Structure 1
């Protein structure tokens, strides 16, 4: 595609600083030297590579499109089809054609033709090797830590109560150790794998530190600062099956204890249990167990955040996660589904179930975001973040509140709507009215 830039577009392109999502190279560069940038953008979060812009921002492009053929052909050798786009840029007052390559994050590990692998850090393309390369492969879904061998006697899982119960429940009946070896949960060398440990060991955290769930309660709608922490964070350990159900139940208990404002006064919140169950199950089963950290559940006055270690794997993004399927830990996902009353009853449909449950109660859709090497799902249960509760909290902290202040903190622009909310709060005895007309304020009784 060829585009003629305006003066403003040219100035923004030539004046743009290099950053995690943008790099520029001279048109005199040898194609092979572009491999670092192409690999780095493909392995990280994508970006744009402008060829024909000098370090000082000067526009010195290719004389004609054909002169850039080697560049385009080289990009096609490094990047998979469909994950990059080439645009040819011109400007009436500039010399030559600038090649702009737009790169998406690739599903697999993207290497240069010489086999080197890079990632984008700040404004540079950095090589990755050893443990960093293994972490990148896990993030891409190329390998899974669930297959990692652990050094302890296999009898600790083959003779565990959870494993014995499981083997008695499946058809055909099979001896525990034979089943574990057949499923690859004990490898050929006789070592238990991470998957076998997480599924059947009575205390997998002995060998896989921070493979549990931590639950926090913050009495705020803002950021998780220590001063708002209510009590000591709770840790839920154990095998994955018990861990999921225990963490869901404890989280529901905490959420149910938070009061909300209704037409009849302050009541307990109604919350779709399927949503929390499916989102937490997804976080535990699809997390990267190669990252030494727990799943974190943060319960606020207006939301629940489920923070899971590991990026979304392969081609899955926050935008397509409801439509795409990719299991980072396929053995764990498959076998835990064979437990009686499995937590992942509808394999591959968990998040869709959660979204439907929220919509059925007319609550906001969950929000899915990636931060570095983590995925955070935010469940904004509007009943906890109702305008009534926000108004009462403001009046509690500040002594009183008026219509203008209420519109600002709730985001509701209609003065009439806020007036009706105040009338409801007064009628239920949550607030009392002071003053008249535009001088009216409301405070606690």
Structure 2
């Protein structure tokens, strides 16, 4: 750890008055005897099993100042003994994660900082004296919480390919397959020139749909079954519409505005979930040239991709088969949560790297040949790593924040914001400015100008992905429509409906700021104008909503702020 990083962390903790998800502080005014310090090893386990972090020794809470009696050298000896893999009797953690032990001077006293890296092998990292079930922890806020059985299983298999989707489903047979979907699946294989259907033998077995004993595999049943819930009752998508921005908000007796349990095979579930989501989102008419289309506030392709990822990458092991995929629709966002963490060491920051790392290899291969039906072309899951980057680009083009991934050990949630062009206030304001038939790029340009004061062709290119020159032409078109105006070359702002300011009015306006109220005498000193001549100028600026007064005209304390 660099010194400036330590100072930054200590300052943050002092302001908060407590530990947080990244730093755990322990006083150790007396070094625990016999390699004890159970809570220290629990914190070490928690950071290793989550996202890494720091354990700082020699400070007291809540003011985080050095404690008397702290012995850094004995503390380090105790920690190193507990992490020595050559001495199994003294070893406190298994497996031992990457770590670093350093000493720093803080306000004249020496403290110890232990940097714990996230585990890069199968885990979990656990406190040996307590055993794996009671000694495995994760970091949640400023707490070390014990892992449940599902989380332990996830960490035990995180870097190991699993084959749960190839397992047989007792009691199932070819009779449980959806004949119509199976025909469409086989037809796509034929059209793509797949060898498996042209060779002699049972192609269902070669595609890992049916086992040698005649039962269906988990992947075969889920992808092509008529009703997989006969065998896996909880494998469905639960779409719930909430009345606020959280579940069961205080002050309301309404738990759901709408709810739909989506069953069937994976294609049926995703299609039914799409219908449930679409009927609960806003729709806007977008004109492109001479034609127009009704578009959802969140692009349909983003929703389909997020749902397809959820059914493809969720955990289908026995421990997780009791968990459904949850789609929670709130006023400000949609959360799609699936059981199972990110497989094979994948981390949230690498989701857009273009590399597909499927949890369920057999299922992934089948979904690559499950065709969408109706107006949607393509297949249920491409499984080539382009889906998540495409989601990010589509959200950006729609003027929406990028998808946010919240990854826990045993769940993955993607948050899709609804605050965009069809936010009620934004949409009403855009209709007033542009009329009902505006393009996405026009709407984004005005929102950027409204939120940040100005917008440039580069800003618009970064937000929409379109060419800078095309965006410059679009901005110039909005200037011609008197919606925008150029404040300086290349910078565009919302056009003012007020008449241009006189030279004197502009001089007065420049003497007023937004943060510190100024009196008429201070304005007089700054501009060289008399107080008598300033009064009508200030009234005009107030009427134009460019200046606000802090008190009535009769008040001796009246001052002025830029609006």
Provide TM-score, normalisation by structure 1.
Answer: 0.68
Give 1:158-169 correspondences, 5 Å limit. 160-169=179-188
Partner residue, 1:62 = 72
Q: 2-side partners of 1:344 and 1:3: how far apart?
A: 47
Report what 1:305 is aligned to. Answer: 335
Q: Which deviates the most, 371-380 or 332-341? A: 371-380
Structure-1 residue corresponding to 2:171: 152
Between 1:60-69 and 1:239-248, the stretch displaced more is 60-69
Number of the residue aligned with 1:318:
348
Structure 1 residues 257-296: aligned runs within 5 Å: 257=283, 269-270=295-296, 272-289=299-316, 290-296=320-326
In structure 2, relative to structure 1, the CA distance for the partners of 1:268 and 1:142 (3 Å cut) is: same
- How far residue 147 of structure 1 moved from its aligned partner, in angstroms, is 4.4
Partner of 2:422 in structure 1? 384
Equivalent residue in structure 2 for 1:116, among 129, 132, 136:
132
Partners of 1:17 and 1:338 in 2: CA distance: 52
**Per the alignment, do residues 19 and 238 of structure 1 end up closer, same or farther by CA in structure 2, a change over 3 Å counting?**
same
Q: 1:11 to 1:211 in 2, by over 3 A?
A: closer
The alpha-carbon distance between structure 1 residues 149 and 72, as it changes in their structure 2 partners (threshold 3 A), is same
When structure 1 is superposed on structure 2, of 379-388 and 267-276 the one drifting more is: 267-276
Deviates more, 1:159-168 or 1:208-217: 159-168
Residue 369 (structure 1) aligned with residue 406 (structure 2): yes
Q: Which has the higher contact order (CA 8 A, sep 6+)?
A: 1
Offset, 1:42: 1.8
Highest CA radius of gyration, 1 or 2? Answer: 2
Partner residue, 1:360: 397
Q: Distance in 2 between matches of 1:176 and 1:48?
A: 60
Distance change >3 Å, CA 55–CA 155, structure 1 → 2: same
After TM superposition, give the deviation of residue 348 of structure 1 in Å.
1.5
Contact residue 41 and residue 120 of structure 1 kept, 8 A: yes
Q: CA deviation at 1:218?
A: 5.0
CA-CA distance at 1:198 after TM superposition: 0.8
Contact 2:285 2:295 in 1 (8 A): yes
**Aligned equivalents of 1:362 and 1:76: distance in 2?**
48
- Rounded Cα–Cα distance in structure 2 between residues aligned with 1:125 and 1:302: 30
Contact 2:104 2:112 in 1 (8 A): yes
Gaps of 5+ in 1: 261-266, 393-410, 424-435, 439-445
- Say if 1:312 and 1:375, in contact at 8 Å, map to a contact too: no
Aligned pair count? 401
String of CA shifts for 1:7-46, please: whole Å, max 9, x gaps.
Answer: 9949959x97677652648555666977654333322343
Conservation of the 8 A alpha-carbon contact between 1:52 and 1:99? no
* Structure 1 residue 334 displacement after superposition: 1.9
Note the 1:201-240 alignment, pairs <5 A.
201-218=225-242, 222-224=245-247, 225=249, 232-240=258-266
Secondary structure at the aligned position of 2:349 is classed as coil
- Asked if structure 1 preserves the Cα contact closer than 8 Å seen for 2:324 and 2:339, the reply is yes
Name the structure 1 match of 2:105.
90
Q: SS in structure 2 opposite 1:308?
A: strand
Query: Shift in Å at residue 70 of structure 1?
Result: 4.5
Q: Unaligned 5+ residue runs, structure 2?
A: 86-91, 287-292, 372-377, 431-449, 454-482, 485-493, 498-542, 546-563
Q: CA deviation at 1:256?
A: 5.2
> How many Å separate the matches in 2 of 1:302 and 1:151?
43
Distance 1:301 1:2, change over 3 A: closer
Is the aligned partner of 1:336 residue 2:367? yes
Structure 1 residues 211 and 59, CA gap change in structure 2 (3 angstroms): farther
| Residues 1:78 and 2:109 are matched in the alignment | no
8 A Cα contact 2:235 2:322, kept in partner: yes
What secondary structure is seen at the aligned counterpart in 2 of 1:192? Answer: coil
1 CA distance for matches of 2:401 and 2:334? 12
Distance 1:413 1:328, change over 3 A: same
Following the alignment from structure 1 to structure 2, what is the Cα–Cα distance between the partners of residues 142 and 30?
40
Shift of residue 180 of structure 1? 4.4
For 2:54 and 2:303, how far apart are their aligned partners in 1?
Answer: 38
User: Cα distance 1:50–1:219, how it changes in 2: closer, same or farther (>3 A)?
Assistant: closer
Q: Note if contact 1:303-1:380 (Cα within 8 Å) is conserved in structure 2.
A: yes
2:95–2:125: 8 Å Cα contact kept in structure 1? yes
